[in-house]
Amino acid sequence: METTLIENLPEVGAVGVIIKAVLILAVISAIAGFGTFIERKVLAFMQRRLGPMHVGPYGLLQIAADGIKLFTKEDIIPQNANKFIFMVAPVITAATAFIALSSVPVFPDFTIPSWIPLLGDTFVPSIASDLNIGILFVLGMMAAGLYGPLLAGMSQANKWGIIGAARTAVQFLSYEVVTGLSILAPIMLVGSLSFVEFNNYQAGGISNWLIWQQPLAFVLFLIAGFAETNRTPFDLLEHEAEVVSGYATEYSGMRWGMFFIGEYANMITVSVIASVVFLGGYDVVGVYGWLFIIAKIAFFFFLMLWVRAAWPHVRPDQLMWLCWKVLMPLAVVNVLITAIVMMV
């Protein structure tokens, strides 16, 4: 893939990008872990339970306990599995999720104070690599992520895994179409594939947010995002009630944990895209712009949990029906209308 640094930000050096990458990796991993805690708590409250309570104050250290458990648990590889693919698959999931994050604005840019040795005065950008085709890159990377579950399910010599893998292929490929088409209309409006351009396009207050011009695209993107991140009501890949644990059936320990982290990283990615593309991005009112985007991301994250607590699963056939007979036509219509409006 051709990667080109945007030329109008000459201060960005290699060190800054590396720092940013490490930062993303560390923070998002931690947030993914923390996300599990939040998920358990939120679901518990919505079901009038307490959730984790015993490890640390209010169960806060539950993440640490889970982490220790995941790291120390035996890594089981089934006898008849294709060992290499079986071991690589979770890495693909985690890697693609984080690579996708590299071209998404995650934190505001800042300069490391000069009194810090070695790294002093280094500019750390808000986006690790601000590609001019950012959105395409993110969507592509998320699409590549489908190889994780697919290979995992097929390599493990388990019928539930095979079913999970099949569902992965069907669900991810189908909804990739909706994601792409739904986001095409905003891209047409903005005329760029760069997140920075999107951000700039919507600068100037809430009324400039793209959601008002493209409400249908927003809804379609959100639905497709749920499907892409394998969240309820579309978590058919590892639906416990039907296929034990789907593609993850035979996984244990840290390998299973990588799927988990990948899923949460993807959730954050989708939240970020939705925030940047439709809700005005990060730079709205001066200095506190980064706070706003965190609030927006948090809202989308919370929405995913909220939906999980409230809504039931759909059947695979309903999922496909929804995609190809409802969402996809709507997205096409939306693109057409947008195009007509722009031409007129």
Partner 1 sequence: MSLEQFKNRNVGVQSYKTLDVGTPPKTGMEKFTQVVKRSVKGELFVGLGVVMKRMLEALFKNDMHTVKYPFEKMPISPRYRAIHEMLRLLESGNYRCIGCGLCEKICISNCISMETRYDENQRKEVSEYTINFGRCIFCGYCAEVCPELAIVHGQRYETASEQRAGFSLFEDMLTPIDQLNLQQEFDGFGAVSPNADDNIKQTPLAY
- Length of the chain, in residues: 344
CB of 44 to partner 1, least distance (A): 8
The continuous run of DSSP H or E covering 110 comes out as strand 110-111
Comparing CB distances to partner 1, the nearer of 50 and 68 is 50
- Select 258 or 319, whichever has its Cβ closest to partner 1: 319
The minimum distance between CB 49 and partner 1, in angstroms, equals 5
Q: Which pair of structure tokens corresponds to residue 3?
A: 């990667």
CA distance 94 to 82: 20
CA dist 312 → 87, 301, 309, 315 (Å): 32, 18, 8, 10
**Shortest Å distance, C-beta 50 to partner 1:** 4
Cβ proximity to partner 1, 269 vs 334, nearer residue: 334
For β-strands 110-111 and 123-124, DSSP reports them as antiparallel
Contact, 264 vs 31, CB < 8 A?
Answer: yes
Handedness of CA 274, 275, 276, 280 (dihedral sign): positive
Q: Nearer to partner 1 by C-beta: 288 or 306?
A: 306
Distance CA 260, CA 262 (A): 5
Nearer to partner 1, 51 or 78 (CB): 51
Task: Write the DSSP assignment of 73-106 as a string of letters.
Answer: S-----TTS-HHHHHHHHHHHHHHHHHHHTTS--
Least distance CB 242 / partner 1 (angstroms): 21
Residue (34 or 302) nearer to partner 1, CB: 302
Alpha carbons 129 and 266: distance in angstroms, whole number: 18
Helix, strand, or coil (residue 51): coil
- Rg (C-alpha) for the chain, rounded Å, is 21
Residue 193, sorted as left (phi over 0), alpha (psi -120 to 50) or beta, turns out to be alpha
CB of 295 to partner 1, least distance (A): 18
**In this complex, which beta carbon is closest to partner 1, that of residue 43 or of residue 136?**
43
CB 165 within 8 A of CB 86: no
Q: How far is the CB of 267 from partner 1 (least distance, A)?
A: 18
Nearer to partner 1, 286 or 312 (CB): 312
Interface contacts to partner 1, rule CB under 8 A: 42, 45-50, 53, 306-307, 309-311, 325-326
Q: How far is the CB of 279 from partner 1 (least distance, A)?
A: 19
Residue 189 CB, shortest distance to partner 1, in Å, is 24
